[in-house]
Chains A and B, each alone.
Chain A
Amino acid sequence: MRPSELGVAEAARQIEQRTLSPVELVQSALDRIDEVEDRLNAFVVVTADEALEAARQAEREIADGGYRGPLHGIPVGIKDLYDVAGLPTTSSSAVRSGYLPTEDAACVARLREAGAVVVGKTHTHEFAYGVLTPTTRNPWDTGRVPGGSSGGSGAAVAAGECLVGMGTDTGGSIRIPAAVCGTVGLKPTFGRVSRAGITSLCWSLDHAGPLTRTVRDAALTLQALAGFDARDPGSAREPVPDFTADLDAGVRGLTLGVPANYFFDDVDPEVESAVREAIGVLEAQGATLREVEIPYADQMMAVEFGVLVPEASAYHQEMLRESGEEYTGDVRVLLEAGETVLATQYIKALRVRTLVQQAFRRTFEGLDALVCPTVPAAAAEVGQRTFTFPGGREKAVVDAWIGHSAPGNVTGLPALSVPCGSTSAGLPIGLQVIGRPFDEAGVLRVGQAHESATDWVSRRPPL
């Protein structure tokens, strides 16, 4: 196994024991990038020279007894919505050409403090306003999309180009690519991780978080990222626990909610089968299952878009007037339409959002987490616009995918996607675990219980 195929935890163990050099690990990731990028196009820019210099620095520090922890020397890809000092933040858009930040986003700074090595910036759907990431391909089938909007990070981690990919999640943009690329994706609780220095899509729905190979890797990365930051108005003054402390505690004694409505209503049969099998794996390990009704299910998408559309248009208003012709068509027309929304309509969506949050609180009484499909259908083909579900019902790809992930954004609850199966075409399937506020440790514990009982995370794409 080449070093770049390792997970963070195993690479860190070897680095700490000095049986693996950060230079060797980063070079391995760069070699893999050279090998597959012509087919994937996951990266906007690769910073090979800077990464190797940072790896040499890490090697010197460790040799001098300055080991910083499990991210020291680990190659990471940064979604190109995050500012990285000295590198353009393009947001995969012509609109932002020429924007060169002088400071790192808060997350990037925290990753660097932990010793992580930035190997490049990964593609996003333009300004994160979509779920396809058209510039990038899915490593399991390059005729398919990698999901989005953090599609570059999902593809890069799945293909072994980096061990951690940073993403953002406004309607599912970490969990969707994680599910369809076969990686772990963690959307922390709203406020847990700072968004300072990240191009906004929607202030009240945006979350930052990691995509990784394993649940433990997600926990280790979150440990470096989490914590209050006064530069982000949404940042929470919440104590940061040790996210790995109870990771292997198992699910015996936990009660998991299984949705009786909504999440299994329009689902590909192969996805439903894999997810129900995954839930059975958790039950076999001692979890108690309880069927629950998902509140406001029919209004979830209206609330998500009712908040997102006007906030996105407000953020882009000046740029749209100055550089409208530089946006891609699908994003431009959404931004234009969003300008016609009345304040009262936006406020209504925010008020219903409060009702949804209150209803989820009641639903969670006696529950430790909800378990359900991350997305109802695996990776779409490039150019595919709709999925057809049992009974002949058609849904747009964007509606189908966001419909399952949006509840996590509308409520702000922590949500994790872990690989749990494969379609007959060999495409990954994801299990979603949604937890109580600021209980990332809980969702990680459930994900770890599933991961340790199966071997889905060990699969690699045929690339």
Chain B
Amino acid sequence: MATTPRSPLGDEALDQLLAHARLDLGPERRTAAGPVVTMVLGLYDSLDGIAVGETPPAAAFDARWE
């Protein structure tokens, strides 16, 4: 998966995110998840610079142009 620069999450930040997600991971899983969470959040960071104005989400997606 594409990576963008982002400082690795600290233990406390990762714990907060996992708790918020109600995801109870053991130490081994937590260690594995940390870098991937950082990578995923980095992807969203790369969208921060895009001004979306009033653009609605393509949630009810329809590929038609007309």
Contacts and interface: CB of A to CB of B under 8 A. Distances in A.
A333 B46 CA distance: 21
Nearest to B22: A339
B7 interface: no
B47 A349 contact: yes
A336 B33 contact: yes
A303 B47 contact: yes
A438 B40 CA distance: 32
B63 A191 contact: yes
A461 to B, nearest CB: 30
B57 A306 contact: no
Given A204-B58, A234-B61, A236-B63, A352 B52 contact: yes
Interface string A290-302: 0000001011011
Contacts, number: 121
A350 B60 CA distance: 10
A359 to B, nearest CB: 11
A91 interface: no
Kindly state the interface size class of chain A when it binds its partner: 35 or more
Contacts of B43: 301-302, 305-306, 309
A353 B57 contact: yes
Contacts of B23: 336, 339-340
Contacts of B37: 336-337, 340
B36 A337 contact: yes
A204 B59 contact: yes
A375 to B, nearest CB: 15
A190 B33 contact: no
Interface string B1-19: 1101000000000000110
A355 interface: yes
Contacts of B62: 191, 236
Contacts of A340: 17-18, 20-21, 23, 37, 40-41
Contacts of A436: 65
- Binding site of B, secondary structure by majority: helix, strand, loop or mixed? loop
A191 B32 CA distance: 36
A411 B52 contact: no
Interface in A301-352: 301-303, 305-306, 309, 324, 329, 333-334, 336-341, 345, 347-352
B44 A348 contact: yes
A437 B62 CA distance: 10
A380 to B, nearest CB: 16
Contact of B65 (A204, A350, A437): A437
A305 B65 contact: no
Nearest to A357: B58
Contacts of A302: 2, 4, 43-44, 46-47
B40 A350 contact: no
Nearest to A345: B44
Given A348-B52, A352-B52, A299 B46 contact: yes
Nearest to A395: B2
Contacts of B55: 351-352, 354-355
B27 interface: no
Contact of A339 (B21, B46, B61): B21
Interface string B23-54: 10100010011001101110110110010100
Contacts of A352: 47, 50, 52, 55
Contacts of A367: none
Contact of B2 (A236, A305, A336): A305
A-B pairs, 7 with minimum CB distance = A412-B63, A350-B57, A339-B21, A301-B2, A337-B36, A340-B17, A345-B44
Interface of B: 1-2, 4, 17-18, 20-21, 23, 25, 29, 32-33, 36-37, 39-41, 43-44, 46-47, 50, 52, 55-59, 61-65
18 contacts: A191-B63, A204-B59, A236-B63, A299-B47, A303-B47, A309-B43, A324-B29, A341-B44, A345-B41, A345-B44, A349-B47, A350-B57, A351-B55, A353-B57, A353-B58, A355-B52, A398-B1, A437-B64
Given A236-B62, A351-B56, A354-B55, 9 more contacts: A302-B47, A306-B43, A333-B36, A337-B37, A338-B40, A340-B18, A349-B44, A349-B47, A437-B63
